[in-house]
């Protein structure tokens, strides 16, 4: 007993003494949103930045979660296409394409059903590492730490305390920060700080959402968009790579795979989501060597199919029992409210379910369809993650904690009335970035096929929570990053001010990078001004400066603030059109998502724009084109500065395009000192 007590006393100083770091900006998390925040903050000149990650890998969905096929489709004129890329996400796409071109001679080698862009997970992690090293050298990255306590003084977060993810190391870490961004997977900093948050479905009484439940049943409070463990595979060129049968495996759980072909011969030349290209194999294929003529051994894919989804309510009994051993009542908690160690209990069962999918494809499905070169039997688990089970270090996380923010985006704000999305009903003036994706819930519940709750189960979609509910083009407001009460803290990643329904449409790779870029820009302004984020978003001039910084970009392409389909960061008019649109000066037509920059602007259009810009009632219904000299006169009539070049002999009679008009109006607004003015409510013209 004395020896034990003496040993404990020797350990006590190590347990009580933590390394203490002082910084301007603390970013908790290492996903794509956290990385985007770090890069943006560094580019903007924030001097001291600390990023604390719970694992070694950076990059989140791109890498550590194994989601190497980017699904970002929207519908335009009845055809599926990608939402316009911008900001740091566009930079990431360019880096991915450069990597693939150098390695495979093809920028987009996957020919995947779900998306045009693919990247192998380890390569994605390396891209983020190189990017951070080159452009954010002042960012100190600390790996293998998870938050256990948040320091709050007088309603302000002042830092966080961390312990090792691997608890065999008793080390402790404390970071004191002027401002903290929570980009953690489950919003642990927000939760531990005492800031208000939500997890699981919002009841209909909260926001009045059409898809919200009226009341919870026994499982309702735990219901979330499911997690999935992605299974990343490489070809063996005919060698049997069947994985061992998981202990919980029952073929009945995977019956959905018995009714579809495991592979289809498609190069997806008909476009993403072409029905002829859908199969578990081609769904998220990473490298298609067969159709691209690449070297044997380069073929790679990953499984991320609905049958693999792991609902976070109605847990198997073995998981319930394991959770209850850690804490009475733990099995009834939402996963957001569990400790990291408790979550890992759920993750382990989800891994076994994912391996069961692979085993079923390699055995029962192989036997059903017969032998062929692309059989899953001849695909092996990749070893690139460096994990003992060859699965990604993290599950694919579709839904987490939701910050109770100054502005909460709701289903009715973005839900579309038709299958041809146009403009959202609510377009907040403090737009941080534009987005659009379906309200997309994967199966959120399970049903057990026998009375044994450790037996086979299958996923089910509920009436309220499904996929392919269309949304309109929308924007996330800067206020959606700011806690309703707590200071010194900003939401990042999925930890933002949206309802559960909206989060199902706001969770993609690019969207999360935009969140990080926006949060970092708001943080930069707060630190520069010595003000709280809530003060920045409440100050029109400061808020507009944040938007301008986002639209203008810093050492890279700007962020799309208003969701025009044909507005690209490389366009000379990109900044002007974004800034006029978010102010409600340039209003889109209700049924047209295109800006049409080369189209000649008419007197009717220009006088309407000038009327909104100057808040005057002058109008002109003429459909005749506006020339450069005429715009000069119109600006001067309203006391606005006009560029002398409008009167150049060679250009005076030149009909103005919409792009040219936007740039001249934006210049006039800036020079007149009215760049912080706004027209409230940026609804489309009807």
**How many angstroms separate the CA atoms of 133 and 128, rounded?**
8
Q: What is the mean pLDDT of residues 107-136?
A: 97
Nearest of 52, 134, 64, 43 to residue 95 by alpha carbon:
134
Any domain includes 646? yes
Other beta carbons less than 10 A from residue 451's beta carbon: 6
Any domain includes 627? yes
Q: What is the mean pLDDT of residues 468-494?
A: 96
Domain with 633, as residue range(s), is 586-671
Alpha helices (H) along 165-288: 188-193, 204-207
**How many angstroms separate the CA atoms of 239 and 393, rounded?**
26
Q: Is residue 547 scored above 90 in pLDDT?
A: yes
Question: What would the pLDDT profile of 651-669 be if each residue is shown by its tens digit?
Answer: 889 999 999 999 999 999 9
The chain-wide mean pLDDT, for the chain, equals 94
Any domain includes 498? no
Split into its structural domains, the chain has a count of 1
Q: Is residue 15 scored above 60 in pLDDT?
A: no
Asked whether the whole model's pTM tops 0.85, one would answer yes
**How many angstroms separate the CA atoms of 477 and 406, rounded?**
9
pLDDT band for 70, please (50, 70, 90 cuts): very high
**Which residues are paired to 204 by β-bridges?**
none
Other beta carbons less than 10 A from residue 105's beta carbon: 11
Alpha helices (H) along 370-440: 411-414
* 178 CB-near residues (< 8 Å, 6+ apart): 23, 24, 25, 488, 527
501 neighbors 393 (Cβ within 8 angstroms): no
Positive or negative CA dihedral for 165, 184, 63, 322? positive
DSSP H or E segment with residue 670: helix 658-671
For 398, the token pair is 């579709």
Q: What is the mean pLDDT of residues 234-243?
A: 97
pLDDT of residue 679: 43
pLDDT of residue 640: 94
Alpha helices (H) along 530-591: 533-538, 540-552, 574-582
Q: What is the mean pLDDT of residues 81-93?
A: 98
Any domain includes 615? yes
Least confident piece of the model among 307-316, 391-400, 408-417, 643-652: 643-652
Region of residue 29 (phi > 0: left; psi between -120 and 50: alpha; otherwise: beta): left
pLDDT band for 676, please (50, 70, 90 cuts): low
For 513, the token pair is 């990078």
**How many angstroms separate the CA atoms of 252 and 258, rounded?**
10
The DSSP-derived string for 575-637 is HHHHHHHHTTSSPPBTT-----TTSBPBHHHHHHHHHHHHT--------SBPBHHHHHHHHHH
Residue 472 DSSP symbol: -
CA-to-CA dists, residue 110 to 118, 272, 280, 536, angstroms: 6, 11, 14, 43
pLDDT of residue 17: 65
Q: Is residue 50 scored above 80 in pLDDT?
A: yes
pLDDT of residue 678: 46
378 neighbors 242 (Cβ within 8 angstroms): no
Q: Is residue 684 scored above 70 in pLDDT?
A: no
pLDDT band for 167, please (50, 70, 90 cuts): confident
Residue found by looking up tokens 């499905």 in the block: 365
For 29, the token pair is 């998390």
How many CA within 13 A on the CB side of residue 44?
A: 28
469 φ, ψ (degrees, to nearest 5): -90, 115
323 φ, ψ (degrees, to nearest 5): -65, -40
pLDDT of residue 1: 44
Any domain includes 595? yes
**How many angstroms separate the CA atoms of 364 and 379, rounded?**
15
**How many angstroms separate the CA atoms of 89 and 43, rounded?**
15
Q: What is the mean pLDDT of residues 575-600?
A: 97
pLDDT of residue 8: 43
Any domain includes 639? yes
Query: From the centroid of its chain, how far is CA 270?
Result: 27
**How many angstroms separate the CA atoms of 415 and 406, rounded?**
21
Question: What would the pLDDT profile of 261-288 be if each residue is shown by its tens digit?
Answer: 999 999 999 999 999 999 999 999 999 9
């Amino acid at each position: 007993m004395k020896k034990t007590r003496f040993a404990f006393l020797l350990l006590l100083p190590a347990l009580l003494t933590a390394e203490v770091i002082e910084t301007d900006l603390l970013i908790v998390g290492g996903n794509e949103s956290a990385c985007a925040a770090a890069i943006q903050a560094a580019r903007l000149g924030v001097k001291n930045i600390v990023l604390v990650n719970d694992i070694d890998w950076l990059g989140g969905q791109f890498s550590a979660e194994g989601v190497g096929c980017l699904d970002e489709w929207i519908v335009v004129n009845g055809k599926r296409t990608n939402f316009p890329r911008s900001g740091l996400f566009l930079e990431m796409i360019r880096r991915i394409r450069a990597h693939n071109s150098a390695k495979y001679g093809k920028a987009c080698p996957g020919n995947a059903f779900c998306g045009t862009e693919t990247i192998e997970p380890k390569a994605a992690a390396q891209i983020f590492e190189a990017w951070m090293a080159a452009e954010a050298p002042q960012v100190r990255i600390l790996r293998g730490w998870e938050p256990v306590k948040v320091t709050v003084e007088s309603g302000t977060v002042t830092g966080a305390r961390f312990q090792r993810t691997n608890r065999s190391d008793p080390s402790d870490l404390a970071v004191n920060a002027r401002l903290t961004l929570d980009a953690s997977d489950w919003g642990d900093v927000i939760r531990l700080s005492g800031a208000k948050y939500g997890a699981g479905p919002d009841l209909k009484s909260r926001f009045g959402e059409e898809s919200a439940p009226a009341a919870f049943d026994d499982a309702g409070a735990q219901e979330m968009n499911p997690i999935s463990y992605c299974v990343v595979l490489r070809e063996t060129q005919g060698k049997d790579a069947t994985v061992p049968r998981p202990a919980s495996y029952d073929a009945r759980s995977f019956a959905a795979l018995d009714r579809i072909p495991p592979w289809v011969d498609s190069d997806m030349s008909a476009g993403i989501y072409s029905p002829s290209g859908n199969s578990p194999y081609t769904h998220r294929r990473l490298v298609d060597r067969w159709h691209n003529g690449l070297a044997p051994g380069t073929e790679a894919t990953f499984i991320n199919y609905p049958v693999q989804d792991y609902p976070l309510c109605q847990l198997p009994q073995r998981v319930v029992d394991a959770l209850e051993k850690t804490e009475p009542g733990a099995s009834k908690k939402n996963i957001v409210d569990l400790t990291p160690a408790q979550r890992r209990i759920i993750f382990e069962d989800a891994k076994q379910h994912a391996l069961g999918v692979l085993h079923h494809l390699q055995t029962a499905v192989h036997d059903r369809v017969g032998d062929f070169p692309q059989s899953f039997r001849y695909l092996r688990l990749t070893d690139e993650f460096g994990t003992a089970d060859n699965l990604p270090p993290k599950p694919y996380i579709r839904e987490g904690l939701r910050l109770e923010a100054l502005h909460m985006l709701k289903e009715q704000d973005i839900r579309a009335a038709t299958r041809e999305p146009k403009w959202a009903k609510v377009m907040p003036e403090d737009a941080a970035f534009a987005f659009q994706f379906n309200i997309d819930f994967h199966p959120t519940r399970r049903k057990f096929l026998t009375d044994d709750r450790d037996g086979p189960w299958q996923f089910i979609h509920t009436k309220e929570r499904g996929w392919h509910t269309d949304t309109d083009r929308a924007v996330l407001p800067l206020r959606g990053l700011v806690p309703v009460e707590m200071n010194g803290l900003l939401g990042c990643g999925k930890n933002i001010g949206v309802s559960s329904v909206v989060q199902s449409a706001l969770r993609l790779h690019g969207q999360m990078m935009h969140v990080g870029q926006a949060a970092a820009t708001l943080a930069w302004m707060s630190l520069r001004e010595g003000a709280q984020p809530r003060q920045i978003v409440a100050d029109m001039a400061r808020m507009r400066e944040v938007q301008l910084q986002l639209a203008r970009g810093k050492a890279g392409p700007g962020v799309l603030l208003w969701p025009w389909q044909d507005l690209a960061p490389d366009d000379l008019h990109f900044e002007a059109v974004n800034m006029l649109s978010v102010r409600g000066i340039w209003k889109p037509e209700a049924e047209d998502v295109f800006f049409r920059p080369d189209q000649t602007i008419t007197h009717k259009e220009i006088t309407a724009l000038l009327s909104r810009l100057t808040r005057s009632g002058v109008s002109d219904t003429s459909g005749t084109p506006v020339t450069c000299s005429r715009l000069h006169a119109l600006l001067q009539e309203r006391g606005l500065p006009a560029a002398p070049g409008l009167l150049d002999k060679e250009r005076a009679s030149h009909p103005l395009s919409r792009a040219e008009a936007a740039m001249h109006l934006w210049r006039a607004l800036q020079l007149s000192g009215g760049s912080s003015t706004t027209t409230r409510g940026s609804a489309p013209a009807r």
